[in-house]
Amino acid sequence: MARRIAAGAAYGGGGIGLLGAAAIGLVLAEVQLAKRTVGNGHADPPSADGLYGTVFGRARPPLRLGILGDSTAAGQGVHRARQTPGALLASGLAAVAERQVELRNVALPGAMSDDLDRQVMVMLADPTRRPDVCVIMIGANDVTHRMPPTQSVRHLAAAVRRLRTAGAEVVVGTCPDLGTIEPVYQPLRWLARRVSRQLAAAQTIGVVEQGGRTVSLGDLLGPEFAANPRELFGPDNYHPSAEGYATAAMAVLPTVCASLGLWPETDRLDASRDEGILPVAKAASAAASEAGTEVTGARAPWALLKHRRRRRLPAVTDPAAAPVEPASSPRQP
């Protein structure tokens, strides 16, 4: 299914329905029930744009980190700039690179993939401030607003292509598993999980084919969300809390650093960690079912499936970043 969606996106095919027609009425009823308890009381996310890692001085120009996507990329659900994923990633990147990082976040709460064209235009508008690496988090609103998945993947692939052409590395956090949202009941929970995972796999294929890398957000990056939903989801029961965003950023950071050649691990595979070279569609499917998995393009039609060792994020003391310490576990789910 993921391959069919990606192929439809690449070659202009029409929408491929992910749900049977008989299920639509039941799903719509469940959606209305879920809306009563999910996503209320949104406040504008805090702005975290600025310079991080100032303790490293100005001997070299800062790395430029761009964030694009939806409310998760923007950091909706937290109240302090340092708690947003952009600030966490900028601080972590500065600590690993031992270099200042300039963060610019153009993500828009409520955005779907068709807004990426505008966001990329804003990101690339100033040729003197073009990013070295961009992180995109998108897809949840595409599912909830029933955007045809082929259109969703087409918009994302076009955004990755434009950013790569402009010289930026691109890391995409694929569609999260909407079946983990606590107030969503069965059978919508099962359907939401299936649809979001199919979209995540199709996104992976589209991104890798354009020279980007993906990290599966899955159940929002770890069983912590399923085990501790009241701790890791914010007050609206939909967006992550500060702890949730930290978990997400910790999973994405190694891939961001690796894309710039800054991570101590190479792209060599470790069989003991279930890494391998697979056909891109199989790698995408495997990643969609295991949160935190990275997929990177190899020689077509192959892709590298990796589980990078994570490190604890530095405490964000705006605007400087503290050193990164190794995590206690070699591989965190």
DSSP line for 77-98? T-SSGGGSHHHHHHHHHHHHHT
Strands 101-105 and 133-137 come out as unpaired
Q: Which residues does residue 135 pair with via DSSP β-bridges, in sequence order?
A: 67, 171
By C-alpha distance, which of 175, 98, 104, 96 is closest to 134? 104
In the set 236, 270, 274, 318, the catalytic residue is 236
In the set 142, 196, 219, 239, the catalytic residue is 239
Q: What is the separation of C-alpha 127 from the centre of its chain, rounded to a whole number of angstroms?
A: 25
Cβ(236)–Cβ(39) under 8 Å?
Answer: yes
> What does the CA dihedral 23, 29, 30, 31 come to, rounded to 10 degrees?
100
Q: Report the amino acid identity of residue 212.
A: G
pLDDT digits (tens, 9 = 90+) for 59-76: 899 999 999 999 889 998
Q: Give the pLDDT score at 64.
A: 98
Cβ(99)–Cβ(62) under 8 Å?
Answer: yes
Q: Which residues does residue 294 pair with via DSSP β-bridges, in sequence order?
A: 215, 306
Q: Give the pLDDT score at 329.
A: 35
Q: Give the pLDDT score at 299.
A: 77
- Is 318 among the catalytic positions? no
Output the six-digit token pair for 327: 């995590």
Residues (pLDDT < 50) of the chain are: 8, 11, 14-22, 24, 28, 38, 41, 221-224, 231-234, 320-333
Q: How far apart are CA 119 and CA 121, in angstroms?
A: 5
- Is 114 among the catalytic positions? no
Q: Give the pLDDT score at 184.
A: 56
Q: Give the pLDDT score at 298.
A: 80
- Is 42 among the catalytic positions? no
Query: DSSP letter at 169?
Result: E
Q: Give the pLDDT score at 321.
A: 41
Output the six-digit token pair for 208: 């890798």
φ/ψ of 222, rounded to 5, equals: 130, 155
φ/ψ of 321, rounded to 5, equals: -115, 140
Output the six-digit token pair for 247: 């978990």
By C-alpha distance, which of 84, 199, 87, 86 is closest to 143? 199
φ/ψ of 185, rounded to 5, equals: -105, 165
Q: How far apart are CA 316 and CA 3, in angstroms?
A: 40
Q: Give the pLDDT score at 273.
A: 67
Which domains, ranges and CATH numbers included, belong to the chain? 2-10+42-321 (3.40.50.1110)
Output the six-digit token pair for 4: 């069919």
Q: Strand 63-69's sheet: what is its strand order?
A: 50-52, 101-105, 63-69, 133-137, 169-173, 213-215, 294-297, 302-306, 276-279
Burial (CB count within 10 angstroms: exposed 0-12, middle 13-18, buried 19+), residue 48: buried
